[in-house]
């Protein structure tokens, strides 16, 4: 079991060196809330990420959700895009990316729709190569989310219950947020406290060469010597990454590749296997609902 905290701009400027010395073993950092609008980015997000990296504190991230529609304003798709935009700023991979579901305005949607939102978020984030998960309090997990179904797909569960007794929900959980009144040296005021039971930090892994190559092509790692230094400092083999970049940018004369869906497959798993995205698979195969696929279905994957 590991002891950690979760933080946002509400904690102000944090002295992460003191936090580390206080025995904190992980942190989960808010990246923002709601729609993909810059003013709704958490103002301390990058400061907190950089503080964790500088002090060798493993970190996850989360977005606070208030989605009440699928597309447009106050939508789950906008929150997914918000999350992706903030993740694109990072050179170190978080151990998990969570959606925080507890806003009262969304309760009217009911259990089925809110579960769909949670899974939609996790499918999209997983397709990018991240571990994805859902945060909620015990009441929400028992009333507004099918937590056992969400967990059955391998998504992480982070449950809040401010008590000496552990949460009682219909699924195992990886993290228990047990208090919102913790006091930690390096942080002014109260902070949320958590216990981690699963080996999420052990699951943290470097990005694949293909992931890095696509990021290089998108301009995330800079150019020339700057690119080489940044990749090397992040622990990657620059020559391997550059070779993959050259391969991807070469004329593509390979034939299309197809895959037959097996029982238990999701588009997220298939996308990760073939180095593509859920949205690209849906576009190639004219799939309207990414959650509706069936065993025996043949789809294009490259």
The pLDDT assigned to 204 comes to 46
Supply the pLDDT for residue 252.
56
Asked if 98 and 158 touch (Cβ cutoff 8 Å), the reply is yes
Is-contact 39 65, C-beta < 8 A? Answer: no
Helix (H) or strand (E) holding 203: helix 200-203
Mark residue 278 as left, alpha or beta (left: phi above 0; alpha: psi -120 to 50; beta: remaining): alpha
Among 70-79, 95-104, 126-135, 226-235, the range scoring the smallest mean pLDDT is 226-235
Q: How far apart are the first and last CA of the chain?
A: 41
Tens-digit pLDDT profile for residues 197-228 = 998 986 444 667 888 888 888 887 888 888 88
Lookup: tokens for 129: 């190569």
Q: Helix, strand or coil for residue 133?
A: strand
Q: Percent of the chain scored above 90 by pLDDT? A: 66
- Give the pLDDT of residue 250: 80
DSSP secondary-structure letter at 251?
-
Run of H or E residues at 116: helix 110-126
Cα distances (Å, whole numbers) of residue 110 to 124, 231, 265: 22, 45, 26
Alpha-carbon gap, residue 64 to 46, rounded angstroms: 16
Q: Which two tokens stand for residue 301?
A: 């994957």
Q: What is the structure's pLDDT at 233?
A: 64
* 233-286 residue pLDDT tens: 666 788 889 998 888 888 655 567 889 989 889 998 998 888 889 988 988 888
Q: Quick count: other Cβ atoms within 10 Å of Cβ 127? A: 23
What average pLDDT does the structure give for the chain? 91
Query: Would you call 35 helix, strand, or coil by DSSP?
Result: coil
Q: What count of Cα atoms within 13 Å lies in the side-chain half-sphere of residue 214?
A: 10
Cβ-proximal residues to 91 (8 Å cutoff; 6+ apart), any chain: 221, 230, 234
What's the rounded Cα separation, in Å, for the pair 118 and 181?
27
CA distance 52 to 276: 30
Instruction: Give tens-digit pLDDT for 18-38.
Output: 999 999 999 999 999 999 999
Q: What is the largest CA-CA distance in the chain?
A: 61
CB-based contacts of 119, cutoff 8 Å, min separation 6: 149, 150, 153, 155, 291
pLDDT digits 0-9 by tens, 150-190: 999 889 999 999 999 999 999 999 999 999 999 999 999 99
CA angle in degrees (0–180, nearest 5) for 146-111-73:
120
CB atoms within 10 A of CB 54: 11
């Amino acid at each position: 079991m590991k002891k950690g905290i979760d933080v946002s701009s509400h904690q102000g400027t944090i002295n992460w060196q003191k936090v580390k010395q206080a025995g904190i073993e992980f942190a989960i950092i808010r990246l923002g809330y709601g729609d993909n609008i810059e003013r709704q980015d958490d103002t301390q997000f990058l400061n907190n990420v950089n503080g964790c990296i500088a002090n060798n504190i493993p970190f996850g991230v989360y977005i606070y959700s208030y989605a009440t529609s699928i597309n447009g304003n106050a939508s789950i798709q906008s929150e997914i895009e918000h999350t992706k935009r903030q993740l694109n700023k990072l050179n170190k991979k978080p151990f998990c990316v969570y959606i925080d579901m507890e806003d009262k305005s969304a309760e009217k949607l009911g259990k089925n729709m809110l579960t769909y939102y949670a899974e939609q978020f996790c499918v999209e984030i997983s397709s990018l190569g991240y571990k994805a998960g859902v945060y909620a309090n015990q009441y929400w997990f028992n009333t507004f989310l099918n937590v056992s179904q969400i967990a059955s797909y391998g998504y992480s569960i982070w449950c809040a219950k401010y008590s000496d007794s552990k949460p009682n929900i219909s699924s195992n959980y990886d993290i228990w947020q047990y208090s919102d009144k913790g006091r930690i040296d390096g942080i002014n005021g109260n902070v949320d406290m958590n216990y981690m039971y699963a080996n999420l930090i052990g699951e943290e892994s470097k990005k694949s060469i293909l992931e890095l190559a696509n990021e290089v092509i998108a301009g995330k790692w800079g150019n020339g010597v700057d690119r080489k230094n940044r990749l090397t400092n992040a622990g990657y083999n620059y020559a391997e990454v550059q070779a993959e970049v050259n391969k991807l940018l070469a004329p593509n004369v390979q034939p299309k590749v197809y895959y037959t869906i097996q029982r238990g497959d999701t588009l997220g798993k298939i996308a990760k296997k073939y180095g593509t995205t859920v949205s690209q698979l849906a576009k190639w195969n004219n799939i309207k609902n990414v959650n509706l696929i069936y065993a025996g279905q043949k789809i294009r994957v490259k």
